[in-house]
């Protein structure tokens, strides 16, 4: 019997152990392109993206391209994204596509095929998804991720203030919506070692989260480091005993040092070292 692909959780654990526990966003904001001296057009987008991938592709564990900043240029922007995914993977980095897809039935299946099917031009090691049509609506993505050795990061406790009105709302059974989502993830990760493939997005800016059970046996993507105000030193307070499973995400805190390649590398290395120190 042929063994299936190595699960994302195992690949992620190895990448973080070998390269450091850091995810760098690829977020080509118009303002950031301008800061780099680039035009807000497809040529500027391509140069920005290529510079980041070439500078950091052999250094960081995970890249997190923000799909929206490529989609805004239409098919030409998506072509840049496809090239970036391919070239980053060639350099050994994992790709976490930040697309926050969420739908039902055949539409969710189509999103899963776009990002989680092995032969797709946008195949990603993991995908961010929204569970707020019900966790069960994500089942096509969960199944396809398992089949292709990929993973998901489900919006759980996000750092934007508006998120609380949904995520911290209390259900009839007395559990919050966020706690319910974490429970589903724990069930989908049960028995997986060294780490499950289904993670939660939990903001690093949220302070003490001891009221929530973050022990889902899966990764915890932690945006908010750097420009949003959180620091690596905050991670033990926010994540407690699960801090070793945290994937801290930095975007502008690293990208603002471009287009100088050496400066980008130094910034990423500094954040990775700070995270190592903080999480022990």
Whether the Cβ atoms of residue 108 and residue 102 lie closer than 8 Å to each other: yes
Whether the Cβ atoms of residue 219 and residue 245 lie closer than 8 Å to each other: yes
Whether the Cβ atoms of residue 128 and residue 99 lie closer than 8 Å to each other: yes
| β-bridge partners, 220 | 200, 246
Q: 129-150 burial, b for 16+ CB within 10 Å, e for fewer?
A: bbbeeebebbbbbbebbbebbb
Catalytic residue IDs: 100
Whether the Cβ atoms of residue 51 and residue 258 lie closer than 8 Å to each other: yes
């Amino acid at each position: 019997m042929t063994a299936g692909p190595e699960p994302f959780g195992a690949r992620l654990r190895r990448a973080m152990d070998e390269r450091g526990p850091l995810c760098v966003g690829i977020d080509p904001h118009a303002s950031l392109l301008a800061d780099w001296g680039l035009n807000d057009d497809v040529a500027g987008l391509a140069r920005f993206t290529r510079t980041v991938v070439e500078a950091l592709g052999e250094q960081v564990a995970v890249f997190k391209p923000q799909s929206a900043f490529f989609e805004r240029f239409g098919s030409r922007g998506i072509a840049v994204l496809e090239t970036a995914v391919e070239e980053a993977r060639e350099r050994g980095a994992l790709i976490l596509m930040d697309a926050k897809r969420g739908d039902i039935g055949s539409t969710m299946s189509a999103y899963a095929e776009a990002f989680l099917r092995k032969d797709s031009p946008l195949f990603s090691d993991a995908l961010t998804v929204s569970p707020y049509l019900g966790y069960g609506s994500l089942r096509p993505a969960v199944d396809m991720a398992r089949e292709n050795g990929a993973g998901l990061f489900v919006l759980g406790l996000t750092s934007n203030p508006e998120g609380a009105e949904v995520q911290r709302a209390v259900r009839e059974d007395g559990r919050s919506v966020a706690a319910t989502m974490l429970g589903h993830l724990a069930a989908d990760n049960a028995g997986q070692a060294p780490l499950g493939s289904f993670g939660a997005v939990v903001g690093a800016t949220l302070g003490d989260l001891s009221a929530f059970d973050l022990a889902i046996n899966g990764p915890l993507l932690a945006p908010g480091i750097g420009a949003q105000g959180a620091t690596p030193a905050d991670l033990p307070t926010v994540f407690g005993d699960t801090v070793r499973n945290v994937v801290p995400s930095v975007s502008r805190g690293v990208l603002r040092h471009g287009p100088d390649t050496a400066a980008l590398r130094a910034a990423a290395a500094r954040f990775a070292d700070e995270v190592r120190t903080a999480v022990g």
